[in-house]
Structure 1
Amino acid sequence: MKKQFAFTLLEAVIALAIFAMGATALYGWINTNLITLARVDQINQRSSSVESAIEFMSMIDPEVRAEGSDQIGDLQIRWQTSTPLYKGDVLDEQNQKTINQATIYPATVILIRNGKTIYQFQMSLLGVKKVRDLNDVIFN
């Protein structure tokens, strides 16, 4: 006489319950990782936007454009400068005046994507303008 081995209904229900607990734990772990990944992606995009804005603002002459707004792809950069922090002559290696004068402006920069402000920061902008002729510097 051969003996047959089979699962009883109770063993199948217990196996299914253990599988369900494992699947639920796995789902929770995967869901948490996806949420974290979305946050990391958002922070990386914001960091990239700030780097782009700083690079763009380094080319702005606050003497010419004290405030403004420009679009770079889907990123809008708005800025506004305020009263200069410093204004003085540019000096050469021998501590002599040159033909230029430098001014440091505080600037507020706002980054906007899809109509929503994503970041705002402060930075200083350097403005340089010619205030003397070369002859005034050489012969004085």
Structure 2
Amino acid sequence: MRRDHHGFTLLEAIVALAILAAGGMALFAALNTSLRSIERVDAAARRDTATQSALSRIETLNPMLQPTGDEPLGDGRMRWTATPVEAPRDGLTDYLQPGYYEVGLYRVEVELLSGTQVDHRFVVRKAGWRQVRFPEAL
């Protein structure tokens, strides 16, 4: 009696499904890892953009006149606190005479917030100034 095999046996089908499932799980794990990496890169890019925006705002800040503050910044908020590094002293003219301004060096601590959560902190040093003399007084 001759038997012709047409199709797969049950064992062959189960082995093929197991191999397919193992390959699918490996692809799923790779996809999941890639998605997490993309999320981390996206979060880092948002933090970098917010930091650049905060630094742009800090450039216009005078920490001697505005030592603390809280302002909206894009989708979040920016909060800062400035503490003196050196006591303010008279600025000098080219002739080493006291000038119009008193200047000081400040340590500005900046926090970038999303809602109530602090997303990023950084510190910069910034000069502060205040006009203490006027041209008619010199």
Partner of 1:33: 34
Partner of 2:61: 60
Partner of 1:81: 82
- RMSD after superposition: 2.5
Q: What TM-score, normalized to structure 1?
A: 0.79
Partner of 1:107: 108
Deviates more, 1:65-74 or 1:4-13: 4-13
CA distance in 2 between partners of 1:4 and 1:48 (Å): 66
Q: What amino acid is the match of 1:51?
A: Q
For residues 5-32 of structure 1, give each alpha carbon's deviation from its aligned partner in whole angstroms, at most 9, with x where no partner exists: 3222222111111111100111111111
Contact 1:69 1:76 in 2 (8 A): yes
CA distance in 1 between partners of 2:5 and 2:19 (Å): 25
Contact 1:85 1:106 in 2 (8 A): no
**What SS is found at the alignment partner of 1:10?**
helix
**What SS is found at the alignment partner of 2:36?**
helix
Q: What amino acid is the match of 2:31?
A: I
**What SS is found at the alignment partner of 2:84?**
coil
Partner of 2:122: 121
- In the alignment of these two chains, the number of paired residues is 135
Aligned sequence identity (%)? 28
Partner of 2:51: 50
**What SS is found at the alignment partner of 1:5?**
coil
Contact 1:99 1:132 in 2 (8 A): yes
Q: What TM-score, normalized to structure 2?
A: 0.80
Unaligned 5+ residue runs, structure 2?
none
Partner of 2:72: 71
Shift of 1:112: 0.9
CA distance in 1 between partners of 2:87 and 2:49 (Å): 30
Partner of 1:24: 25
Q: What amino acid is the match of 1:102?
A: V
Unaligned 5+ residue runs, structure 1?
none
Q: What amino acid is the match of 1:9?
A: L
For residues 35-75 of structure 1, give each alpha carbon's deviation from its aligned partner in whole angstroms, at most 9, with x where no partner exists: 12112222221222211111111111123211111112321
**What SS is found at the alignment partner of 1:61?**
coil
